[in-house]
């Protein structure tokens, strides 16, 4: 006799609210292409507004009107960035917190619902290769620990870095450097710095070292306290406005460049949830970032945080078992994360909550005609279309299977 599972027992079924990221009018992937891919809406931000400045209502409405004119909608912000002064609790941090609250008031007035942000010091994300060739010829994003060590020790030449690496790590990095041409070294340097906000402007090593200096006396404990203070400052405002805050995990989820990272593990996320016990204080659950660690049980963590998950980034990574900390971005239904288990848990959460959760296929391979086109790393059109189609099919299969079993 068939025994019904939780997936079959609860009705009605809610589906993932399928989105794609759009970088605004300068994005080489237009809104029309995103709509053709099957997304119901986009997640975006006012990238032209300097970090820390107020997002004005007229600017928000202008962006919203552009999206709606293309037959789509905008309900999730990715991202409303947090100024470095807030993260270090120094300089003009109070003014930037006040500005952040005003921006929250303005986005709520314009009908937006979810505000994504991160608390990563200096670097938003890091890769060492944005054109890692897969066996079929498509290109993926990759992080290789040894190459990043080359960048840190010999290209950036960060003071004090030598003492943070073992003798073996140093020798391996020195050998890698010796094998690289000047062009390869420059490409690594440029790629590693793409995670800097505004990196397209071309940062120098001196500028990056200056940014790192702001964190000289900030360890993980201090950064964690500063995050808690920021949450206490802004979550009550967000809650009063009906907004949901969604912090994005660290990418990669471990310390780099001597900088602490405090949104990397299950315990980190639990601590954030406890810091301000209001459901407005929640998460952007990124399976790619969290999945780069071997000690994160993603389906279990997603189920545990269910009521606090306000946005889903679905992507898959394949960890390099011979080089700890290295990984590349695999097909969305491949890699080390059980995506079927993730989507099944998400379906269960949505039924419990009685609402859909916004989701986007995070990143995508550069493939087919997009190999000859420019795009933001990870955000070409065809790879994300493929990812969205696969995730949509996975969700449909899980829902259909549960419905069919419930009938028999």
Distance CA 408, CA 405 (A): 5
SS (H, E, C) 88-131: HCCCCHHHHHHHHHHHHHHHHHCCCCEEEECCCCCCCCCCCEEE
Are 329 and 363 in contact, with CB atoms under 8 Å apart?
yes
Catalytic residues: 248, 286, 313, 362-363, 379
Q: How far is CA 173 from CA 128, 192, 193, 323, in A?
A: 13, 15, 18, 13
Q: At 123, phi and psi to the nearest 5?
A: -100, 130
Distance CA 79, CA 114 (A): 10
Residue of 388, 66, 114, 370 lying closest to 241 (CA atoms): 114
Q: At 298, phi and psi to the nearest 5?
A: -65, -50
Distance CA 359, CA 286 (A): 10
Token pair, residue 376, equals: 């933001």
For the chain, state the CA radius of gyration: 21
Q: How far is CA 350 from CA 232, 238, 307, 362, in A?
A: 27, 22, 9, 20
Q: Find the helix packing angle between 220-241 and 266-275, rounded to 10°.
A: 50
Residue of 407, 403, 405 lying closest to 12 (CA atoms): 403
Q: How far is CA 213 from CA 93, 121, 242, 332, in A?
A: 17, 11, 37, 38
SS (H, E, C) 218-264: CCHHHHHHHHHHHHHHHHHHHHHHCCEEEECCCCCCCCECCECCCCC
């Amino acid at each position: 006799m068939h025994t019904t599972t939780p997936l079959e027992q609860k009705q009605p079924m809610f589906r993932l609210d399928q989105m794609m990221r759009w970088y605004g009018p300068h994005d080489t992937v237009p809104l029309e292409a995103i709509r053709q891919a099957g997304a119901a809406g986009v997640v975006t931000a006012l990238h032209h507004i300097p970090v820390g400045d107020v997002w004005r209502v007229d600017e928000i409405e202008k962006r919203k009107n552009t999206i709606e004119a293309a037959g789509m909608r905008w309900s999730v912000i990715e991202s409303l960035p947090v100024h470095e002064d807030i993260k270090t609790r120094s300089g003009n941090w109070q003014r930037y917190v006040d500005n952040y609250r005003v921006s929250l008031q303005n986005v709520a007035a314009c009908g937006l619902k979810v505000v994504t942000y991160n608390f990563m010091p200096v670097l938003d994300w890091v890769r060492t290769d944005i054109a890692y060739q897969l066996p079929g010829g498509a290109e993926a994003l990759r992080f290789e620990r040894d190459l990043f060590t080359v960048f840190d020790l010999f290209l950036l030449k960060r003071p004090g870095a030598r003492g943070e690496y073992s003798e073996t790590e140093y020798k391996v990095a020195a050998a890698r450097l010796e094998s690289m041409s000047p062009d390869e070294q420059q490409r690594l340097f440029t790629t590693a710095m793409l995670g800097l906000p505004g990196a397209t402007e071309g940062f120098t090593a001196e500028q990056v070292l200056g940014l790192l200096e702001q964190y000289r006396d900030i360890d993980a404990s201090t950064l964690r306290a500063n995050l808690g203070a920021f949450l206490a400052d802004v979550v009550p405002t967000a809650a009063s406005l009906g907004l949901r805050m969604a912090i994005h995990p660290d990418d990669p989820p471990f310390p780099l460049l001597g900088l602490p990272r405090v949104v990397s593990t299950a315990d980190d996320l639990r601590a954030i949830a406890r810091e301000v016990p209001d459901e407005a204080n929640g998460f952007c659950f990124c399976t790619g970032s969290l999945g780069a660690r071997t000690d994160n049980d993603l389906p279990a963590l997603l189920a545990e945080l269910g009521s606090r998950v306000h946005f889903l980034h679905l992507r898959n990574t394949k960890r390099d078992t011979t080089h700890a900390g290295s990984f590349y971005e695999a097909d969305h239904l491949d890699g080390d994360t059980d995506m079927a288990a993730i989507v099944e848990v998400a379906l269960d959460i949505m039924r419990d909550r009685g609402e859909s959760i916004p989701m986007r296929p995070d990143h995508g391979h550069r493939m087919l005609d997009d190999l000859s086109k420019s795009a933001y790393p990870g955000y070409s059109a065809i790879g994300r279309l493929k990812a969205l189609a696969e995730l949509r099919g996975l969700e449909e299969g899980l829902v259909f299977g549960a419905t069919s079993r419930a009938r028999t």
